[in-house]
Amino acid sequence: MIDDAVLDFSAGSLTLLNAILAVVMFSIAIDLKLSDFKVLARSPKPVLVGLASQFLLLPALTYLLVIVAQPRPSVALGLMLVAACPGGNISNFITHRAGGNAALSVSMTAIATVGAILLTPLNIAFWGSLYAPTAEILRATSIDPVSIAVTVGLMLVLPLVLGILLNARRPDLTARIRPPLQYLSMGIFLAFIAIALVSNWGLFLTFGPAIAGLVIVHNALGLGGGYALATLAGLSPFDRRAVTIETGIQNSGLGLVLIFSFFGGLGGMAIVAGFWGIWHAISGLALASLMRRTEAAR
C-alpha cells in the first residue's frame, strides 16, 4: 500500500539536496537588486495578486481536489504540501521563455520564499487538519513549525539574502557568474531528481500511474487558477503570464526536503513531490512555447 511505502533516500542525499537548492536560490538572488523591491513597493498590485494566488488560491483549490478525488491520505497530504511551498526556481526561466514579466517573477519568488517561513507550515497545518485522513497523519507526525521555518530559512532565505548582497557590492562579479551558475545549478538539480527517480524506480512503476493523473490535474489547477485570478484582478498580459507560471510552478525540491525531514519519506507524499518536479517543468515549458507565439501587452 502506498501509505506504507518509504522511498530510498539517505541522510547524505538529503544534505546534498539542501545544498543544491541553496545554490539554485543563490543563482536567482544574484539577479536581484534592492531597487527591484522599491519599484514593486510603488506598484505592489501584481505581487500581491501573485502571492494571493500562490498561498491562498492554490491551497484552496488543492483542498477541493482532495475532497473530490479522495486519494490515499499520504497522496492527499503530498498534494497539500506541494501547494504550500513557494514558487519553484525554474519559474523565472520559464516566465522569461514565455515572454512574461521576468523581473516580477524573480521578485515574486524572492518574496514568496521569505513568506514561506511562516506561510508554508501554516498552510500544511491548516489544510491538512481540515481533511480527516491527512489530519490523522499530522497527529501521528511530530511536526514543529519552527523547525520547518528554520529549514526554509537556511535553505532558501539565507542564500537569497547573500545573493542580493553580493549583487549590490560586486555587480561585476555577479554579471560574470550569473549565466553559468544558473544553468549549472539547474542541471545539477535535474540530474539529482533523475538519479533519485532511478533509485526508486520500482515504487514509481507500482504507484506512479495512479498519482500521475492527480499531479497533472493539480498542476493544471495551479496554472488555470493563477491565470484566472490575474485576469480578474485586471493585470496586464505581461504580468499575467508571470503570475500564471509562478502559481503553477512549485518548489517541489523544498517539498521533498520537508517530506524526508519531517514525514520520514512517506511514499505517497514523496512520489507526488517527485512527479511534480518532473511534470511542472514539462507543462511550464509547453505553456511558455504557446505564450511566446504572441507578444504580451504591457
Mean pLDDT score, 27-50: 80
Mean pLDDT score, 43-60: 93
251 phi and psi angles, rounded to 5 deg:
-80, 75
Tell me: pLDDT of 203 over 70. Answer: no
8-22: b or e for each residue (b if 16 or more CB lie within 10 Å)? ebeeebbeebbebbb
Residue 189: which pLDDT band, with cuts at 50, 70 and 90? confident
For residues 77 and 197, the model is more confident at 77
Tell me: pLDDT of 5 over 70. Answer: no
Residue 17: which pLDDT band, with cuts at 50, 70 and 90? confident
Distance of alpha carbon 93 from alpha carbon 189, whole angstroms = 14
| pLDDT given at position 14 | 65
| pLDDT given at position 232 | 97
pLDDT tens-digit series, residues 204-263: 777 667 788 999 999 999 999 999 999 999 999 999 999 999 999 998 878 888 888 888
| pLDDT given at position 41 | 73
Q: Quick check: helix, strand or coil at residue 87?
A: strand
| pLDDT given at position 66 | 96
How many angstroms separate the Cα of 48 from the Cα of each of 78, 87, 239?
26, 14, 12
pLDDT tens-digit series, residues 111-121: 888 888 889 98
Tell me: pLDDT of 10 over 60. Answer: no
| pLDDT given at position 65 | 97
pLDDT tens-digit series, residues 272-285: 888 887 788 889 88
Distance of alpha carbon 80 from alpha carbon 125, whole angstroms = 10
- CATH of span 2-291: 1.20.1530.20
Distance of alpha carbon 253 from alpha carbon 13, whole angstroms = 12
Tell me: pLDDT of 196 over 80. Answer: no
Q: Quick check: helix, strand or coil at residue 266?
A: strand
Q: Quick check: helix, strand or coil at residue 6?
A: strand
User: Which of 56-70, 113-127, 174-188, 278-292 is most confident?
Assistant: 56-70
**In this prediction, what percent of the chain has a pLDDT beyond 90?**
30
Mean pLDDT score, 32-52: 81
Tell me: pLDDT of 59 over 90. Answer: yes
Tell me: pLDDT of 64 over 80. Answer: yes
Distance of alpha carbon 38 from alpha carbon 44, whole angstroms = 10
Q: For residue 87, what are the β-bridge partners?
A: 250
CB 180, CB 48: distance < 8 Å: no
62 phi and psi angles, rounded to 5 deg:
-65, -45
| pLDDT given at position 234 | 93
Helix H or strand E segment including 200: none
Distance of alpha carbon 8 from alpha carbon 76, whole angstroms = 21
Residue 31: which pLDDT band, with cuts at 50, 70 and 90? confident
Sign of CA dihedral 43, 55, 68, 222: positive
Residue 3: which pLDDT band, with cuts at 50, 70 and 90? low
CB 178, CB 27: distance < 8 Å: yes
Alpha helices by DSSP H, listed for 70-170, are 73-84, 91-97, 102-130, 132-140, 145-152, 158-169
Distance of alpha carbon 183 from alpha carbon 46, whole angstroms = 27
| pLDDT given at position 297 | 60
**In this prediction, what percent of the chain has a pLDDT beyond 70?**
88
Q: How many CB atoms lie within 10 A of CB 291?
A: 21
